[in-house]
Amino acid sequence: MDPKPGFQDQKKVGLDYHSEVQKIEARYNERLAKFEAAVKEIFGDGEAGESRYRHMLNDRGYIPTPETERLAPLAARLDNKKKEIESEKEAALKAIEASKPPEAKRREEIIIEEI
């Protein structure tokens, strides 16, 4: 049985879309890995370092010491950077979804309806 006319084109569009999504995710995951490395370098490795980072972000009732006075602003800057990376990733994924041809979107809907 031959596939429906245009199915191969739609399949290619779907593969191209998924390839682009994978590229976007890889690029932003690399940036998030750099973020994680920065947290480890500044605040320490493992759960203790992550805990110190979260403490500096969330609990402003820490005892003011030269170390906490230095680390709290760094934690805030790192957190802002992480949010920026995540929002850029989300925007890039939305843009690629919006650029998907309508026939590819329709084909996905048909596949789901046929289930």
DSSP of the chain: -PPPTTHHHHHHHHHHHHHHHHHHHHHHHHHHHHHHHHHHHHH-SHHHHHHHHHHHHH-TTS---HHHHHHHHHHHHHHHHHHHHHHHHHHHHHHHHHTS-HHHHHHHHHHHHH-
The model's pTM: 0.65
pLDDT digit string (tens) for 44-76? 888 888 888 888 877 666 666 787 788 888 888
Write down the pLDDT at residue 103. 74
Q: What is the pLDDT of residues 91-115, one digit of tens each?
A: 998 888 888 777 777 777 888 888 8
CA proximity to 50, closest of 40, 63, 60: 40
- Between 14 and 86, the higher pLDDT residue: 86
* Range scoring the smallest mean pLDDT among 6-10, 14-18, 31-35: 6-10
